[in-house]
């Protein structure tokens, strides 16, 4: 019998990680999952993230477009490393800095919102535009998501003398490169329904911005008939002076269509963009066709831009200005269009809809009293057709 066999009974049992290691690893993985979800929301619409970077003043050293890709690379690498169980100081310290910055931005926005001086579409932008949150919701949710997981991720951390997990680190690096490549191509991919709040099946009553105010405080919120007390040309800000405003309220405010009756098209456009002006005449011909569906043109452009458009292009195409805060979460780039039936989005289009095919869904009976030309209202006696019958975008 050799010495090795004699010593075998005295060998230590296989090492099992203590419970503190499991607590820290699971908390780190949860924090990593949150960071990666935030990366998804930003990478799917990098242009919106770039706007957020500029709004927050984070482009003081580098251009906002460069900051966007640096932030995506940092958050992806940290999130992937934590999800894979890497909890070295080179991961936990930068993760603490990133989450601290996000909490600072959301806290600053919340404090500014208490004074009513914050745009209702402005939050910390931690998850891009795919999550609809008020400044208050963003702050408290971020506190619950980041603080416990960040603190617990330090529990039971392996010693610095432990060997580095090179394979897992390589996996995190490869995921980071993949995210950056995806973000570069994302604007040209058909991802509008994923990246925005506008998608088939959503009601116009759900496309809102701002926070509802109690009846005894501040200005009254819009009533169900859409009679807003605040005039349209006043800025829409979140706070004690304004309530929650939805897209259907603005449609009713203009007295164009009954938002929950019949079929109609909505086009979102920047009146001064070349992409819209190239097809302006095509839209005017569609609006002037009595057999076509009613078309509603909404724009985030200023009142001055609307006036210039009316002077240069007098015709049947009448744009209606809507607060940019209300429209910005509905598109990645303009123009964007959608078909509405009974107040519900039935189909979306990355540019203008296939106008030739849309004529088959008409004709439309007379408009509401006082409605402008070209906004004929379909009758509400017939139910809208099955969504599968609607022309897909080209």
- pLDDT 10s digits, 152-164: 999 988 877 677 7
Indicate the pTM of the whole model: 0.75
Superfamily of domain 204-389: Glutaredoxin (3.40.30.10)
Q: Residue 257's pLDDT band (boundaries 50, 70, 90)?
A: low
Q: Residue 201's pLDDT band (boundaries 50, 70, 90)?
A: very high
All residues at 6 or more sequence positions from 146 whose CB lies less than 8 Å from its CB, including other chains? 31, 34, 99, 102, 103
Structure tokens at 274: 């070349």
Q: What is the pLDDT of residue 357?
A: 76
Percent of the chain with pLDDT over 70: 73
Q: What is the pLDDT of residue 224?
A: 43
- pLDDT 10s digits, 374-391: 444 444 444 544 555 555
How confident is the model over 366-374, as a mean pLDDT?
A: 48
- pLDDT 10s digits, 342-359: 889 999 998 888 887 776
Task: Delimit the domains of the chain by residue range.
Answer: 19-188, 204-389
Q: What is the pLDDT of residue 72?
A: 96
Most confident stretch, 6-20, 175-189, 204-218: 175-189
Percent of the chain with pLDDT over 90: 33
Is the predicted pLDDT of residue 276 greater than 70, yes or no? yes
Q: Within 13 A of 90's CA, how many CA atoms are on the CB side?
A: 7
**Residue in the structure block whose two tokens are 């043109």:** 297
- Looking at per-residue confidence, does 236 or 156 come out higher? 156
How confident is the model over 186-202, as a mean pLDDT?
A: 90
Structure tokens at 120: 């209702």
Q: What is the rounded radius of gyration, in angstroms, for the C-alpha atoms of the chain?
A: 26
Structure tokens at 134: 């008020």
Distance, CA of 114 to CA of 236 (rounded, Å):
15
Q: What is the pLDDT of residue 288?
A: 82
CB 138 within 8 A of CB 106: yes
Q: What is the pLDDT of residue 382?
A: 46
């Amino acid at each position: 019998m050799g010495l090795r066999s004699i010593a075998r009974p005295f060998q230590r049992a296989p090492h099992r990680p203590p419970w503190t290691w499991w607590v820290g690893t699971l908390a780190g993985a949860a924090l990593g999952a949150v960071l990666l979800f935030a990366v998804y929301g930003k990478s799917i619409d990098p242009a919106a993230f770039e706007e957020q970077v500029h709004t927050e003043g984070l482009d003081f050293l580098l251009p906002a477009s460069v900051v966007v890709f640096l932030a995506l690379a940092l958050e992806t690498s940290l999130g992937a490393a934590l999800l894979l169980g890497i909890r070295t100081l080179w991961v936990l310290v930068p993760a603490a800095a990133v989450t601290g910055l996000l909490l600072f931005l959301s806290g600053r926005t919340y404090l500014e919102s208490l004074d009513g001086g914050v745009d209702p579409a402005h939050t910390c932008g931690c998850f891009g535009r795919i999550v609809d949150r008020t400044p208050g919701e963003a702050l408290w949710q971020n506190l619950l998501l980041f603080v416990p997981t960040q603190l617990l991720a330090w529990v039971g951390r392996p010693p610095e003398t432990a060997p580095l997990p090179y394979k897992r680190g390589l996996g995190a690096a490869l995921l980071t490169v993949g995210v950056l490549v995806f973000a570069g191509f994302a604007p040209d991919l058909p991802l509008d329904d994923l990246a925005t709040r506008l998608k088939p099946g959503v009601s116009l009553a759900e496309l809102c911005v701002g926070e509802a105010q109690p009846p005894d405080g501040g200005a009254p919120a819009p009533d169900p008939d859409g009679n807003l007390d605040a005039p349209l040309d006043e800025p829409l800000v979140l706070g004690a002076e304004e309530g929650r405003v939805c897209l259907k309220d603005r449609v009713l405010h203009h007295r164009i269509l009954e938002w929950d009756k019949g079929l109609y098209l909505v086009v979102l456009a920047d009146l001064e963009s070349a992409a819209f002006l190239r097809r302006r005449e095509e839209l005017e011909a569609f609006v002037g066709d009595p057999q076509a569906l009613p078309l509603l043109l909404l724009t985030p452009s200023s009142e001055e831009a609307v006036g210039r458009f009316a002077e240069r292009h007098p015709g049947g195409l009448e744009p209606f200005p809507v607060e940019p805060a209300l429209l910005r979460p509905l598109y990645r780039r303009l123009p964007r269009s959608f078909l509405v039936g009974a107040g519900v989005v039935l189909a979306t289009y990355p540019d203008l809809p296939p106008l030739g095919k849309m004529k088959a869904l008409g004709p439309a009976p007379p408009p509401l009293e006082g409605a402008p030309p070209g906004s004929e209202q379909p009758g509400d006696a017939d139910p809208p057709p099955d969504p599968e019958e609607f022309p897909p975008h080209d």
